[in-house]
Structure 1
């Protein structure tokens, strides 16, 4: 029986996963669960050596069910002959706060810590916990491990992670910039250094992750200086359904003068804004782009706003660094631009 490692990246709109050989760490097969590909169905795609070997449409949009179906497809296609082949599962997780900065073995106590941060990332943290629950059920003999996005930003200086609000908001309530997409930015940094033929300690980079969720990181001497996301993954770039940075005065204005509750505002900013809110078409960049090419004016406006905000924030990061050796793009939108 050949031992394997299963790696899962449970995002807000998709799940990426891969099987790797235990001894060589070489990839065996990769997969994608895409919740936005179809209006009422989930698309599951399995690839080996960059070739599509299977594509299935799943009739449910429920996160647990779709992930379970995708992993079951690995057995159907004989990439797994026995579930006990999975010796370890590695999860990319969003938030460990100031408590968890290094990779950990996932225990009930760790899951409790993760759950505490659900209010900060309501689109992401439940997804990660769902993926853990599914893999614990399917592969009970495997060691479950987690790597946290926030860990990459552990060295951001106080001048960058504190907000200009009463200091007690941080000291008593823990309100600070955490940063997100850390595993993506860390990989982009290492890959860029490899391509440039220079050690990470000798270069200054801006890494830009553009997907359904988007962020950029300024990196100097192998460490993050700051990230465009903040206390929550809502800050920063305009995104698929998230607003990104807006004037905080707007929040209190719509509550006081238009009767919106805190829950309504939170739902709108997380799920009904960004590309979806401006275009009125979709939160999927691909759909908005198609609509813009067909002459839809608000779709074109959404794309113009998206590009403007990316450029503006990348410019701010460049000034923060003082020197930029490379601008590195990753994520679904950037990779296909």
Structure 2
């Protein structure tokens, strides 16, 4: 069965085509600058040369049509016909309290997404547009929705309620929801495999660090707390988002500068975080190079981001009581040894002991690695996330009628002998250029 997954942002559409029967990625890519001049697609089919080409995409519908045309292109496509696609899985950032699991999209589901889109005004409208556009282009196959918030529906009220008027929760659904759920689900299940433990007897702290960042406390295999809140703005310092601040600051600065609520929302979401501190950089690689060249603001942003992470690790260690593993994932988590070092340094009192040579060697998105010392009570792993695989499997299981809540369902990638074939091939290049990487692999499984 061939399944297409779509992740629609306000001005982009990421996609992946997966052959479920053979467990391989057939193609993947992104359409950028959707609804803007200069739209462009970056596409790669397995075994073929990567291509980039411009194509006008005034709406998400044209972007999805462009993706489908590219997938069946005789030169660089992966399909002979669009009819080979049996289903589409869509990422939906915010499912509110209505959805605690993935669902097949129908009119009622779409109406429910529309009713709560004000909870995620930067994300859900684009997700909804992506679903409706894909349904127009591919009306005769099932479309499924995989929610970022669903994983966190196991949080207790002590974690998800805010100390605000209770009527705000009752009447307007103001509460903590959390995000990055498919990433956390994947990493929690894989961590249990690496530990050789039952996932529902496993306590882990997972740090998803990228342009958007959040951290998750997982107790006995389910989410019990997370750093993002009603929206993805709360919590860690991110690429352009402020994370935790004194809530009086926006009001103070609105009065000082005469800013509107919309202008302040834009500043907090798009002009803060490490961009706000450095005043020029978002990419952590650029920040690290600038810091090495003596840029004090760049160094400050690294120190601040790492310190915020460290505080959350300590808080979640206290909340969990016993921690089996600390996991780093996503772009910075997978390839940011400087941030990982600053988070883990001097954490021995919490049972976290890291071999810094292993940490330096671990810079790959194609394999799972262990950074902890042999005597570390808490294992420290880098687990490259795979949100698309979770989306694909949820879609497949929904179609087959085998899908259940993750507490009752065993994913394909929970098999101890699971190997990501595409990553295994790509790993060869990283092994050739990174000395010591082969010594810290816990993926592929050791024979």
Aligned with 1:8: secondary structure?
strand
> In the alignment, is the contact (CA less than 8 A) between 2:68 and 2:82 conserved in 1?
no
Does residue 69 (structure 1) correspond to residue 66 (structure 2)? The answer is yes
> In the alignment, is the contact (CA less than 8 A) between 2:45 and 2:77 conserved in 1?
no
Aligned with 1:53: secondary structure?
coil
- The verdict on how the C-alpha distance between 1:190 and 1:52 changes in structure 2, with shifts beyond 3 A counting, is farther
> In the alignment, is the contact (CA less than 8 A) between 2:94 and 2:147 conserved in 1?
yes
Number of the residue aligned with 2:162: 163
Gaps of 5+ in 2: 337-447
Does residue 53 (structure 1) correspond to residue 77 (structure 2)? The answer is no
Number of the residue aligned with 1:319: 318
Gaps of 5+ in 1: none
Query: Whole-Å Cα distance in 1 between the matches of residues 31 and 333 of structure 2?
Result: 17
Query: Whole-Å Cα distance in 1 between the matches of residues 71 and 228 of structure 2?
Result: 35
- Structure with higher strand content: 1
How far did residue 90 of structure 1 move?
0.8
How far did residue 199 of structure 1 move?
0.9
- The verdict on how the C-alpha distance between 1:189 and 1:238 changes in structure 2, with shifts beyond 3 A counting, is same
Query: Whole-Å Cα distance in 2 between the matches of residues 46 and 196 of structure 1?
Result: 34
Number of the residue aligned with 2:237: 238
Does residue 146 (structure 1) correspond to residue 142 (structure 2)? The answer is no
Which aligned pairs between 1:132-143 and structure 2 lie closer than 5 A? Answer: 132-143=131-142
RMSD: 2.5
> In the alignment, is the contact (CA less than 8 A) between 1:86 and 1:139 conserved in 2?
no
How far did residue 95 of structure 1 move?
1.1
> Where do 4+ consecutive residues of structure 1 move more than 6 Å?
59-63
User: C-alpha deviations, 1:48-87, integer Å up to 9, x for none?
Assistant: 3xx7731315477977355553443222223121111111
Residues 177-186 or 128-137, more deviating = 128-137
Number of the residue aligned with 2:444: none
> TM-score when scaled to structure 1?
0.88
Number of the residue aligned with 2:26: 29
Number of the residue aligned with 1:5: 3
Query: Whole-Å Cα distance in 1 between the matches of residues 30 and 59 of structure 2?
Result: 9
How far did residue 265 of structure 1 move?
0.8
**How many residues are matched?**
329
> In the alignment, is the contact (CA less than 8 A) between 1:18 and 1:27 conserved in 2?
no
How far did residue 323 of structure 1 move?
1.5
How far did residue 336 of structure 1 move?
1.6
Aligned with 1:172: secondary structure?
helix
Number of the residue aligned with 1:81: 80
Query: Whole-Å Cα distance in 2 between the matches of residues 167 and 300 of structure 1?
Result: 41
How far did residue 110 of structure 1 move?
2.0
Number of the residue aligned with 1:183: 182
Decide which structure has the larger Cα Rg and report it.
2
Which aligned pairs between 1:1-337 and structure 2 lie closer than 5 A? Answer: 3-10=1-8, 15-22=13-20, 24=21, 26-33=23-30, 35=32, 42=40, 44-46=42-44, 48=46, 53-58=49-54, 64=60, 66=63, 68-76=65-73, 77-337=76-336
How far did residue 224 of structure 1 move?
0.6
Query: Whole-Å Cα distance in 2 between the matches of residues 68 and 208 of structure 1?
Result: 35
Query: Whole-Å Cα distance in 2 between the matches of residues 106 and 307 of structure 1?
Result: 40
- The verdict on how the C-alpha distance between 1:14 and 1:214 changes in structure 2, with shifts beyond 3 A counting, is farther
> In the alignment, is the contact (CA less than 8 A) between 2:27 and 2:78 conserved in 1?
no
How far did residue 109 of structure 1 move?
3.0
> TM-score when scaled to structure 2?
0.67
How far did residue 263 of structure 1 move?
1.0
